[in-house]
């Protein structure tokens, strides 16, 4: 089979399309012939060496396809099942392995590309809105990168839960995308001061929760946007890691809460994984949730896909088509 590998850390040019042996499933594993693989920031961090991996390495953890073979002891899926997962090993490839209990069966009404696009970003948006800070009717949420993959899904789920959404975006074009997802208000952070606008739009009170995927460049503004006992859910760091902070800052700014969650801890059990997937699939099939695929590339152009993502050009999900 063909797969993308890199033998050294560096820029997109280190990604090479190579012929490699097709993996075989071990106990508890399934081999999936992939129809689509997701492109994510984690893949870039691995390529750059920011997340340590053993070389040579094939990136990719998200995808969807058809089960080709299963190892011993597998009962959760069968050969021929249409499946998706956020936990593949080496998904920038034509075939990839996954723990069978991490795979979810995709309803026939959904195409596999859309299912692949909903895995990491959709699951992330789901746990952010329902668990990390469970939004309720009347809450106001500030959502960064609201025109991007997670942000646009998070905006839609927040509206399904009855919250008011203030979307933080960089351009008028992205503001239109955020509004199309249901955002009630827009902050253009390239032209406006985030915390000042968040307080103006809430009559000086501040927001209940900030969903911050940016990190270093927005952290202080996020804290200043919150009402007393508000929640800062810091789930990404696209601008870099947040510097060390004195916890006393949270007290001084209103007894605030800070959490730095990751998806793995919110799909730790199969029941939780299936609950989140079934909610997403149900909303998608009933047209309550739109999963937007921005662009697709053939496997050989993985480097171009990563450059597009790193340049913050994406307005939805980016997929490789093995």
- How far is C-alpha 170 from the geometric centre of its chain's CA atoms? 19
Say what the pLDDT of residue 148 is.
Answer: 85
Distance CA 273, CA 101 (A): 9
Gap between the terminal Cα atoms of the chain:
10
Nearest C-alpha neighbor of 129 from the set 208, 198, 211:
211
Q: In the chain, pLDDT over 90 holds for what percent of residues? A: 90
- CATH code for the domain defined by 2-109+292-321: 3.90.180.10
Give the pLDDT confidence score for residue 314 in this predicted structure: 75
- Work out the average pLDDT over 299-322: 91
Q: Which residues are CB-contacts of 235 (< 8 A; sequence separation ≥ 6)?
A: 124, 128, 132, 150, 211, 212, 213, 260, 261, 262
Compute the C-alpha angle 17/22/25, nearest 5°: 135
Mean pLDDT to the nearest integer, 210-235: 96
For the cut 80, the answer to whether the pLDDT of residue 315 exceeds it is no
Residues forming beta bridges with residue 109, ordered by sequence position:
none
pLDDT of res. 136: 97
Closest by CA to 64, choosing from 269, 316, 321, is 321
Average pLDDT over residues 217-236: 96
Q: Which residues contact 83 (CB under 8 A, 6 or more apart)?
A: 30, 32, 64, 65, 66, 67, 77, 103, 104, 105, 106
Residues 200-204: contacts with CB under 8 Å, at least 24 apart:
201/166, 202/140, 202/227
15-61 residue pLDDT tens: 999 999 999 999 999 999 999 999 998 899 899 998 889 999 999 99
pLDDT the model gives residue 73: 96
pLDDT at 31: 98
pLDDT band at 238 (very low <50, low <70, confident <90, very high): confident
The answer to whether the peptide bond before residue 56 is cis (omega within 30 degrees of 0) is: yes
Q: How many CB atoms lie within 10 A of CB 188?
A: 16
Torsion of CA 48, 53, 59, 62, to 10 degrees: -110
3-class secondary-structure state, position 272: helix
Q: What is the pLDDT confidence band of residue 107, given thresholds at 50, 70 and 90?
A: very high
Asked if 300 and 322 touch (Cβ cutoff 8 Å), the reply is no
What pLDDT score does 129 carry? 98
Query: Is residue 282's pLDDT more than 80?
Result: yes
- Residue spans of the domains in the chain: they are 2-109+292-321, 122-264
pLDDT in tens, 67-81: 999 999 999 999 999
Q: State the DSSP H helix or E strand holding residue 252, giving kind and residue range, or none if neither.
A: helix 248-252
pLDDT of residue 236: 87
What pLDDT, on a 0 to 100 scale, did the predictor assign at position 299? 97
Average pLDDT of the chain is 95
* Structure confidence at residue 202 as a pLDDT band (50, 70, 90): very high
- Statement: residue 190 has pLDDT above 80: yes
Residue 313: the pLDDT is 74
Please, are residues 171 and 188 in contact by the beta-carbon 8 Å criterion? yes
Integer Cα distance of 22 and 45 in angstroms: 25
208's CB contacts (< 8 A; 6+ apart) are: 133, 135, 139, 140, 141, 226, 227, 230, 231
Give the class (CATH, top level) of 122-264.
alpha beta
- pLDDT tens string 112-170: 999 999 999 999 999 999 999 999 999 999 999 998 889 999 999 999 999 999 999 99
């Amino acid at each position: 089979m063909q797969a993308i590998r890199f033998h050294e850390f560096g820029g997109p040019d280190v990604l090479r399309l190579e012929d490699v042996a097709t993996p075989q499933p071990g106990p508890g594993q399934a081999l999936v012939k992939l129809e689509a693989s997701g492109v994510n920031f984690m893949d870039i961090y691995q390529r750059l060496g920011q997340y340590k991996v053993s070389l040579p390495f094939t990136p990719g953890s998200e995808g969807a396809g058809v089960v080709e073979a299963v190892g011993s002891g597998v009962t959760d899926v069968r050969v021929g099942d249409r499946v998706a997962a956020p936990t593949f090993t080496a998904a920038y490839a034509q075939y990839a392995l996954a723990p069978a209990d991490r795979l979810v069966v995709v309803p026939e009404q959904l195409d596999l590309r859309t299912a692949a696009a909903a895995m990491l970003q959709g699951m992330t948006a789901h746990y952010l809105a329902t668990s990390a800070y469970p939004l309720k009717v009347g809450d106001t949420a500030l959502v960064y990168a609201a025109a991007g993959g997670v942000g646009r899904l998070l905006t839609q789920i927040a509206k399904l839960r009855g919250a008011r959404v203030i979307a933080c975006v960089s351009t008028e074009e992205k503001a239109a995308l955020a509004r199309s997802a249901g955002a009630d208000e827009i902050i253009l952070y390239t032209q406006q001061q985030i915390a000042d606008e968040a307080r103006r739009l809430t009559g000086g009170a501040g927001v209940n929760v900030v969903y911050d995927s940016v990190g270093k460049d927005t952290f202080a503004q996020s804290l200043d946007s919150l009402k007393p006992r508000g929640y800062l859910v810091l789930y990404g760091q696209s601008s870099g890691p947040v510097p060390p902070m004195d916890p006393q800052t949270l007290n001084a700014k209103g007894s605030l809460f800070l959490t730095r969650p990751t998806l793995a801890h919110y799909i730790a059990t199969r029941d939780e994984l299936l609950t989140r997937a079934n909610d997403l699939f149900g909303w998608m099939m009933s047209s309550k949730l739109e999963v937007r695929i921005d662009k697709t590339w053939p496997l050989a152009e993985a480097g171009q896909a990563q450059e597009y993502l790193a340049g913050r050009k994406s307005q939805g999900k980016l997929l490789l088509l093995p």
